[in-house]
Structure 1
Amino acid sequence: MSAAQDLHDLERIQLDSQWLYRQGDLVLGPLSGHQVVEKLYTGELTGKTEVSASGPSGFRKLEELDAFQLHVSKAAVKLKVEAEARAAHARRRSQRLMVGGVAALVLSGLGLGAWHISRYASVYLPGVDRELDIKVDPPVITVAKRSVPEELFEYPGEPKRPPVANKPPESKPLDTPTEKPGKPEKVASASPLPKPGRTPGGRPTGKVTTDADGLSTEVNYDMASINRVVKQYQSSLFRCFKEEAERRPGFSAKVPLEFTIGNDGHVAQLWVDHPQLKKGPLFDCLFGELKKWPFKPYPGERATVNLAFTIGKK
């Protein structure tokens, strides 16, 4: 009984004593035994911390002192539990951040996809764009007559070009035949040009007179096929007009186009009958799209297609 009492008294004395402790090369303190215990539970001191109550020469580890051994064990368990709780909390936070990042990425992807779909729909699907109204006149197909863009149209406010007069053919002296008495001279009559024919489908064929001099040209393009291609692909030009409307707020105009289809089936030339749109981004966009239209190759005279677009706000 006296030994237990002595041990209890020793622990009480150690807790009431003043202690110095080491941190690296520094000696700090003094602290009471109760302050040492508090620092054990906060993690500032551990069982390996050396302390001394008798001066610099008597340092011992806290885990070796009877008064602090129980507190060293309890503090170690407490700090371990707290560390595990902090780690679990950090894992949960990391998981929440990851889930939030994935959700944000999915939402941004859906938003970007919706933007692309709406842009595609507004350009390529008729009736989707409620702001810009585009109407197309039926195409007119003729034989190509001119290849110089400036000769195609006359614009308001521009001086009219003087018409080029057709130069009459030079007259050549005729050899006067020697007339024999009693025999009248025979006069050769010019044979008429053959009239052009048409196939049941409406495609012009054969020889067709195309100019005032009576020169005949051969037309072999299929008007029905050209009309089908124009009807199928004319909406691909809407994107060009919508982009022009973005560049020109309030853009509204009637824009007649005239393009020539080469014998290889590709659009070879384009003219825009509008004084402000003869050249520029709209012209380049229209020409680029028209070159993609798959017309059938054909021999003979080339075909010209006149197509007019009316652009305005709904």
Structure 2
Amino acid sequence: MSAAQDLHDLERTQLDSQWLYRQGDLVLGPLTGHQVVEKLYTGELTGETDVSASGPSGFRKLKDLDAFKLHVAKAAVKQRVEAEARAARARRNRARLITGGVAAVVAGGLGLGAWQIARYSAVYLPGVDRELDIQVDPPVITVAKRSVPEELFDYPGGPKPEKLPSKPSETTPDKPEKPEKVASASLSQKPERRASGGRPTGRVSTDADGLSTEVNYDQAAINRVVKQSQSTLYHCFKEEAERRPGFAAKVPLEFTIGNDGRVAQLWVDHPQLKKGPLFDCLLGEMKKWPFKPYTGERATVNLAFTIGKK
């Protein structure tokens, strides 16, 4: 019993003593033995910390002192458990972040896709927009005027452009040919025929001034392209309706098809829409319409859209 009593007394003496401890090159303290135990459990000191109760020359590790061995072991277990708990919390937080990020990306992708589908449907698919009604009159195809230069075409409903004076020829014949001869010569021309011997590719007609015109465009083909492509203009009118709340009007269009099969000119017969965003949008879309190239006089197409609220 004396040995156990001596050990107990030694431990109590060590706990009541004043201790210095080292951290790196620093010597700190003094602390009572009970304060040393508290720092063990908070993790500020470990079993490898050097301490001394007899001055700077007597440092020993805490794990080698009988009074602190049990506390060193308990503190190590406590620190290990807390470290594992912190690691588990960190893993859970990372998993939540990854799951949340994936969910946000998926939701964003779905939302963007839904917005794109809704926008495409509202702009390009006829009948989807329940508030705006668009109706189209059948196209009327005529021959473009020859007597007026291209940049001076009549704007439907506008003033008539002045005719440019004819340029005199460099050599004047002694006896100019009479107009009626020119007309008769034009009428005597035969239309060009296909090499296979089928129907002619065009026809020759004479206008009021006695000038012959060669018409080779295919009206049926033009009608097909207009019917297939006219819905591409709907989004232009819907965008105009967004710019003009309550927009409702009949908008007649007239456009000329060049010999290369592309829309060359456009007129909008509406006093407020002759120029501006709607005109630019319509012309940009119509330039994409795939008409067939042809020779001879150019075709002019009249097309009217009626815009209103359902």
Q: TM-score, normalised by structure 1?
A: 0.80
Secondary structure of 2:246 counterpart: coil
Q: Match for residue 127 of structure 1?
A: 127
For residues 131-150 of structure 1, the aligned pairs below 5 Å read: 131-145=131-145, 146=148, 147-148=150-151
One-letter identity of the residue aligned with 1:4: A
Q: Determine which of 151, 155, 159 is the counterpart of 1:152.
A: 155
Q: Summarize deviations over 1:192-229 as a string: whole Å, max 9, x none.
A: 958x99xxxxx9942223x3223231212111111111
Secondary structure of 2:19 counterpart: strand
For residues 216-295 of structure 1, the aligned pairs below 5 Å read: 216-295=212-291
Q: Summarize deviations over 1:75-101 as a string: whole Å, max 9, x none.
A: 112211211110111011101111100
Structure 2 runs not aligned, ≥5 long: 167-173, 176-183, 192-199
Q: Match for residue 71 of structure 2?
A: 71
- C-alpha separation between the residues in 2 aligned to 1:121 and 1:2? 97
Q: Match for residue 207 of structure 1?
A: 204
Q: Please, what is the CA RMSD of the aligned residues?
A: 3.1
One-letter identity of the residue aligned with 1:234: Q
% identity of equivalent residues: 77
1:52 maps onto 2:48 in alignment: no
Instruction: Tell me if the contact between 2:154 and 2:161 (Cα under 8 Å) persists in the aligned partners.
Output: no
For residues 61-140 of structure 1, the aligned pairs below 5 Å read: 61-140=61-140
Secondary structure of 1:238 counterpart: helix
Q: Match for residue 301 of structure 1?
A: 297
- C-alpha separation between the residues in 1 aligned to 2:143 and 2:102? 61
Shift of 1:149: 5.1
- C-alpha separation between the residues in 1 aligned to 2:268 and 2:223? 20
Structure 1 runs not aligned, ≥5 long: 174-189, 198-202
Instruction: Tell me if the contact between 2:153 and 2:161 (Cα under 8 Å) persists in the aligned partners.
Output: no
Change (3 A) 1:242 1:204: farther
Change (3 A) 1:95 1:279: same
Secondary structure of 1:45 counterpart: coil
Shift of 1:143: 0.8
- C-alpha separation between the residues in 2 aligned to 1:17 and 1:192? 131
Moved more, 73-82 or 224-233: 73-82
Q: TM-score, normalised by structure 2?
A: 0.81
- C-alpha separation between the residues in 1 aligned to 2:17 and 2:281? 93
- C-alpha separation between the residues in 2 aligned to 1:52 and 1:278? 99
Shift of 1:150: 5.6
Change (3 A) 1:191 1:62: closer
- C-alpha separation between the residues in 2 aligned to 1:296 and 1:261? 10
Instruction: Tell me if the contact between 1:251 and 1:312 (Cα under 8 Å) persists in the aligned partners.
Output: yes
Instruction: Tell me if the contact between 1:149 and 1:271 (Cα under 8 Å) persists in the aligned partners.
Output: no
Q: Summarize deviations over 1:278-314 as a string: whole Å, max 9, x none.
A: 2222222211211111111222211110011122333
Q: Match for residue 178 of structure 1?
A: none
- C-alpha separation between the residues in 2 aligned to 1:21 and 1:219? 110
Q: Match for residue 176 of structure 1?
A: none
One-letter identity of the residue aligned with 2:307: I
Shift of 1:47: 1.3
User: How many equivalent pairs are there?
Assistant: 285
- C-alpha separation between the residues in 1 aligned to 2:161 and 2:122? 45
